[in-house]
Amino acid sequence: MYALALLALTAAAHAAPQRGGGGGGMLGGGAMLRFGCAQTVIDRIDPLVDPGKVPSPHVHQVVGGNAFNASMPVADIAGLATCTSCQFDEDLSNYWTAAIYFKAQNGTYKRIETMANQQVNGANGGITVYYTSPGAKQVTAFKPGFRMFSGDPNRRTPSGLGMKATQSCYRCFTGPNFQGNTYSPCFDPKLDTEGFPTTPCPGGIRSSVIFPLCWDGKNLDSPNHVDHVAHPVGGPASFAVTNGKCPATHPVKIPQVHLEIVWDTSKYSNKADWPADGSQPLVLSNGDTTGYGQHGDYVFGWKDDTLQRAMDNACFGPTCKGLSTQGFPVANKCTVNKMVKEDHDGWVKSLPGYDTMGSMTGM
Ligand SMILES: *[C@@H]1O[C@H](CO)[C@@H](O)[C@H](O)[C@H]1NC(C)=O
Ligand SMILES: *[C@@H]1O[C@H](CO)[C@@H](O)[C@H](O)[C@H]1NC(C)=O
């Protein structure tokens, strides 16, 4: 079977025993898609939070379909995009998060490149996407036009939820080949942190962003992009723990969307290059040096009923009976042109959108 996802799945089941009974546990007919989406573009636009604004406040790394744009209509995105960077070629959704920069001792910054995740060989960096359901007919797939947001870019302190319920965490790989990858995301007491790791991570840093499990059943979006969705009554769900009960205000269970981004920090792990004052040198593209402000954006774009079928057919990993897939030689070619002409790859004096004192520019 698919070793890594099975490992994650059993680790999740082990670490978080079924709540409330009633069957529907992960190992009884649940679905867990796990697939890679290569980088589509690095750009300073944000069609969800700052539609139409070119440039938007900070840099994002974007994957998925080529309908990604400074603003995206509330429409069937699958009908607008003509290709996707994801392994499932019927997933023309877009997913994006903040980027991470390394701040050198001389005060200049470099964006840290994403790399292919474990068992997503051949992807040109990007994001690994999971959709999890507790069992057939237990979730309702998103509707065309649906979009949502997870996280808080302004947060600079722990969520207070505790590691296992946090919706954003980092794993610090101790060496090549994802060394130290044992527990489910956000479950490792040693290698997982809610803020940035405080020691070098020579094998890379993986960021996890988890989205809510419940929907109001009516609205495709809401003014803050969060209020039309909600957590189960017991609080935010851990990775792959999808059997929580939804509140009366948001009665419709949706698939759990989980994003993983792996940054290749191998070149930035020499302690001698780190700040002399002992602080850590990583900063999110929104100026956050704590890492607590990581966030994820999602615009749904699966074709027709493909996602619903995947959830109802107990699909697992990067393939699913009845759904079609493409290899990374093809997926890597689905890119969009950058709209904001600025340097997102070289050493820069300040974060794009910020001055050298760290204040936002041009807003
Ligand atoms: C983005 O939107 C602009 C303005 O509507 C349009 O001219 C452009 O073709 C769009 N780009 C893509 C990649 O769809
Ligand atoms: C700053 O430091 C980095 C990393 O050592 C180096 O690559 C870069 O060229 C330096 N930039 C300047 C302007 O000195």
What are the pLDDT digits (tens) for 202-242?
999 999 999 999 999 999 999 999 999 999 999 999 999 99
How many structural domains are present in the chain?
Answer: 1
Q: Is residue 94 one of the residues assigned to a domain?
A: yes
Q: Which of 46, 53, 69, 85 to mutate to test the pocket of ligand 1 (most atoms within 8 A of CB)?
A: 69
**244 and 29 Cβ atoms separated by less than 8 Å:** no
Q: Which ligand sits closest to the CA of 349?
A: 2
Q: For 142-155, what is the mean pLDDT? A: 97
Given a cut of 80, is residue 13 above it in pLDDT? no
In a domain, 363, yes or no: no
- Ligand 2 contact, 319 CB (< 6 A): no
Residue 84 has pLDDT above 80, yes or no: yes
Minimum-distance ligand 2 atom for the alpha carbon of 106:
1
Rounded distance from Cα 353 to ligand 2 centre (Å):
20
The predicted structure's pLDDT at residue 20:
29
Query: What's the chain's Rg over C-alpha atoms?
Result: 19
Rounded CA-CA distance 77/36 in Å is: 19
Q: How many angstroms separate the alpha carbon of residue 226 from the centre of ligand 2? A: 40
| 160 within some domain | yes
Torsion of CA 224, 229, 230, 232, to 10 degrees: -170
Residues within 6 Å of ligand 1 by CB: 67, 69, 336
Q: Which pLDDT score is estimated for 26?
A: 47
pLDDT, one tens digit per residue, over 23-36 is 334 446 899 999 99
pLDDT tens digits, one per residue of 256-289? 999 999 999 999 999 899 988 888 999 999 999 9
> What pLDDT shows up at residue 25?
40
pLDDT tens digits for range 332-352: 999 999 999 999 999 999 999
> Which ligand is nearest to the Cα of residue 107, counting in written order?
2
Q: Is residue 356 in some structural domain?
A: no
Is the bond leading into 55 cis (omega within 30 degrees of zero)?
A: yes
The whole model's pTM is what? 0.93
- Cα of 43 to ligand 1 centre, how many Å? 14
d(CA 315, CA 320): 5
Query: 231 in a domain, yes or no?
Result: yes
φ/ψ (deg, to 5) at 308: -60, -45
In a domain, 358, yes or no: no
359 located within any domain: no
* Averaged confidence pLDDT in the chain: 92
Q: Answer positive or negative: Cα dihedral of 283, 288, 292, 297.
A: negative
Q: Which atom of ligand 2 is nearest to the CA of 347?
A: 8
Q: Copy the structure tokens of residue 95.
A: 């997913």
Provide the pairing of β-strand 39-43 with 60-64.
Answer: antiparallel
**Whether residue 106 has its Cβ less than 6 Å from ligand 2:** yes
Looking at all shown ligands, the one closest to residue 268's CA atom is 2
Any ligand 2 atom below 6 A from CB of 324:
no
Flag whether 63 is in a domain.
Answer: yes
What is the domain extent for residue 33? 1-345
Instruction: Indicate which residue's Cα is closest to atom 3 of ligand 2.
Output: 104
Residue 2: pLDDT band (50, 70, 90) is very low
| Minimal-distance CA residue to ligand 1 atom 3 | 69
Half-sphere exposure of 265 (CA within 13 A, CB side): 36
